[in-house]
Amino acid sequence: MYRDDLGRFREFKAQGVAIRFGKFSARENKQIEKNVQDFLALTGIESADKLLHTDRYPEEKSTITNLKRKHAFRVHIGKDIARPWKLVYYRAKKIFDVNNYKGRYSKGEMEKLKAYQSMHGNNWKKIGAMVARSSLSVALKFSQMGSQINHGTWSKTETQRLIKAVEDVILKKMSPEELQDLDSKLQESPECRLSIVREKLYRGISWIEVEAKVETRNWMQCKSKWMEILTKRMTNGRLPHRGVNALQAKINLIERLYALNVEDANEIDWEVLAGAIGDVPPSYVQTKLYKLKAAYVPFWQKKTFPEQLEKKIEKEGTKIPTPSTPKQDFLFKDIFYCDEDSEGEGMEEHS
């Protein structure tokens, strides 16, 4: 927690409001826009770009920085938003970035992008500034431009490279203490590798690094494929929405969504919801909800979230069982293994 969040967080706690993470809701985006405009009016800073991307204005940087410090920018940016100020700040930078939403890349821009990447590697922040695009935009575009990118079914070799790449990237992020613990456990019992907290299996992974190791797929393909593999392995292949218990699992999901009583899907804490469903990553639950709406709710795009949750699947007298507490960690050897079953490993299913 950041020091500047303490006051706000105490107020939210007193109001019974939980601190949120994940995707921002439409209401939060509007509040961010208001907070930024209010701060500009308070300080006299000319534009949101100068406020949020101060490095682009070196001659005014000192003055703007002093104004931000004097008027407690970190407190103001997070006003009425139950999130750490830094997450709100990053979201505001994206909303007000004049380099976003510039449309398609020209042939000249793509040639520059290739040249700059050859000189600076994957320093997307620097490259983005050089071509006046956001860092995310240039990273994504370069990924899509890869000449060796495959499509369609994954081969066994590609799948094994992906599994190894994700493992390497996760290990790279571990602290020295965690790595020391891993080394000692490997020496004691090489076949029983270190356990890993569930969130680390799908949160904070550098997909650009994974893409570079896999070589034949872009980062979006890698992320999607990994979530398929991970879901299957976390559940030992017993997916909650397949087989004889499929209908019960769907009812369970809908009931739990009703209990959340939210007005916008972006207000859902998918981590908590996934834990209520079983040993699955949040992306699995999001995908399942989308498939249910597409299959059972006509014109769901035009309806509010509560309207989308109208009970289209009901079973009178059904008792919704409380799922067992999901596992909080997994052994590396149960997640990161490659065998004959790795070819095309996925979780294709019907809603």
Alpha carbon 298 to its chain centroid, in Å, reads 28
pLDDT of residue 63: 94
Quick one: pLDDT at residue 191?
Answer: 57
Contact 137, 99 (CB under 8 A): yes
Quick one: pLDDT at residue 160? 93
Instruction: For residue range 205-217, list pLDDT tens digits in order.
Output: 888 889 888 988 8
Q: Taking Cα atoms as reference points, which of 97, 108, 87 lies closest to residue 133?
A: 97
pLDDT of residue 351: 42
Q: Do 283 and 202 contact (CB within 8 A), yes or no?
A: yes
**329-331 and 195-197: which strand pairing?**
antiparallel
pLDDT of residue 227: 92
Q: Provide the pLDDT for residue 197.
A: 78
pLDDT of residue 189: 62
Location of structure tokens 């890993």: 196
CATH for 107-144, options being 1.10.287, 1.10.10, 2.60.40, 3.40.50: 1.10.10
Q: What is the pTM of this model?
A: 0.59
pLDDT per residue as tens, the chain (351 positions): 567 788 888 888 888 888 887 778 888 999 999 999 999 999 999 999 899 988 888 899 999 999 999 999 999 999 999 888 888 998 898 888 877 666 788 888 888 988 998 898 888 888 888 888 878 788 878 877 765 678 889 999 999 999 999 999 988 887 777 767 766 666 666 555 567 778 888 888 888 889 888 988 888 889 999 999 998 898 887 776 666 667 777 777 787 787 777 766 767 777 777 776 778 888 888 888 888 887 777 877 777 777 777 654 444 444 545 555 667 778 878 888 876 555 455 444 444
Domain boundaries in the chain? 3-96, 107-144, 156-237+331-340, 244-326
pLDDT (0 to 100) of residue 348:
45
CA distances 236 to 240, 244, 278, 285, Å, are 11, 16, 12, 17
Write out pLDDT tens, residues 21-78: 777 888 899 999 999 999 999 999 999 989 998 888 889 999 999 999 999 999 999 9
The predicted pLDDT at position 177 comes to 75
Of 222, 235, 229, 174, nearest in space to 200 by CA = 174
The CB-side HSE value for 244 (13 A sphere, CA atoms) comes to 0
What's the rounded Cα separation, in Å, for the pair 118 and 140? 16
